[in-house]
Amino acid sequence: RWQEENKQAIESSNEYVRRNGLPLAKHRLF
């Protein structure tokens, strides 16, 4: 269950990054 929820979060985060660049790149350590 955690992986399913995390997968959605990562996918939406990746979509945000594609639109807006990497404002939180230094905080993404995973």
Tens digit of pLDDT at every position of the chain (30 positions): 778 888 988 888 888 778 876 666 566 555
This prediction has a pTM of 0.42
Q: What is the pLDDT of residue 29?
A: 59
Type of residue at 19 = R
Q: If DSSP states are collapsed to H, E and C, what string results for the chain?
A: CHHHHHHHHHHHHHHHHHHHCCCCHHHCCC
